[in-house]
Amino acid sequence: MTRKALALHRQQLEPDDPKIIQDMFLLGQLLFCADKLGEAEDVMRTTFEMYSNVHSRDHTNRRIVLCVLANVLDSQGKADEAIALMRQNLEPFDDLTWFQTAVLLLKNGREQEYRQQCHEFLKRAAGTKSFVLADKSAKISLLLPVEGNDFQQACQLADFAATASDEWMLPWARLVKALAEYRRGDFDSASAWANRAISTHQIGNQGRAAAWLIEAAANARLNRVESARSALAKAEQLFDSRRRDVAFAFRLADWFIVEQLRAEVAELLGVTELQPPTNLKLQPPGSHTPTTDNGIEDSPRRKTDL
C-alpha cells in the first residue's frame, strides 16, 4: 500500500513535495521492520537527501531521518559509517544527534569514545534552559555508572529536567530523575520516581520498560528480590512489544537503553535468560502488526523519544 501511495503521489506532486518525502520515510521504516535492510538503506539515503534539500541541518525531521539512516547502517554491521555520518551532522546544541552518536558508540563497544562524547555533550548542556537537552544529555551520560564532574553535571541536569511542567515532557523528566537517583544510591527515591514515570499516561513502551527496570534495580539494591523480579517481568513484556511499531528503526536508540538497563538488572538478580537484544536479526515479515506512527513530527515536540 505504501509503494502504491508513493507511486500515486509521484504522478500527482512535485518531486520534493512533503507527502512524497513522508511516503519514502514510512516505506524505509517498513522495509527495515521486514528485515529488508539493503532496500531500507537505499530508501533512507534518498529520503535523507530529499530532506537535506528542503530543510536546514537543524530541522527536526531531517535529524530524525538521519538517525534512522544511521540505525539502518548500524544494523547491517556498518557501524563506522553510521557513526561517521552522525559526527558529520553534529550541531553544537542539538540534543538528538549528540544522543544518537553516544548510543552508537556504546552499542559498538567504543566505551572510551562514548564517555568522551558524553563529556562534550554535558559541557554543551551546562546551564541550559532546555528540558529536552538536559534530559538527553543526563540520560545517556548516566546509562553507565560514571564518576567525578561528569556525574555531578549529569545529576544536576536530571534535577533540572525533573522540574519540567509541560505534560508531554513529564514521562521523560521523571525517568531521567529516577536514573539519577539510582546512580546516586538513593534507591527509595529512584523507585518513587520510576513509579511516577510508569503512571504517566503519555509514556511510550520504551520509556515504561526503562522505568520498570530502574524500579527493578532499585528494589534489588534494597533486597526486595520478589518486587525486583516482578518489575523485571513487566519490563520484559514491554520489551516484547518493540517490533510492533513501524518507528522501531528510529527508536532503536531508546530500546538500546532498555537493553543496557536489562543487563544491569539481570546481573543484580542473577538472571541468565533474557530475550534477544535488538541488534540481532529482526522477526520475519508478517510476524507483527506495526503501529502507524512513523516518527516524523509535525510539531516541535518529540513524543517518540525515550
Q: Output the domain CATH number for residue 37.
A: 1.25.40.10
Instruction: With beta carbons less than 8 A apart as the criterion, state whether 242 and 125 touch.
Output: no
The full length of the chain comes to: 306
Of 196, 174, 195, 185, nearest to 151 by C-alpha is: 185
User: Residue 298: its pLDDT value, please?
Assistant: 38
pLDDT at 251 over 50: yes
Domain that holds residue 9: 1-89
- Express each pLDDT in 138-178 by its tens digit: 999 999 999 999 999 999 999 999 999 999 999 999 999 99
In terms of domains, do 189 and 270 share one? yes
User: Residue 4: its pLDDT value, please?
Assistant: 57
Provide the domain count of the chain: 3
In terms of domains, do 146 and 71 share one? no
In terms of domains, do 58 and 114 share one? no
In terms of domains, do 78 and 127 share one? no
In terms of domains, do 178 and 221 share one? yes
Last residue of a domain, one of 60, 89, 118: 89
Last residue of a domain, one of 66, 89, 112: 89
289 in a domain, yes or no? no
Q: Which pLDDT band, with edges at 50, 70 and 90, does 15 fall under?
A: low
- Express each pLDDT in 59-115 by its tens digit: 888 999 999 999 999 999 999 999 999 999 998 888 999 999 999 999 999 999 999
In terms of domains, do 180 and 259 share one? yes
Coil/strand/helix, residue 166: coil
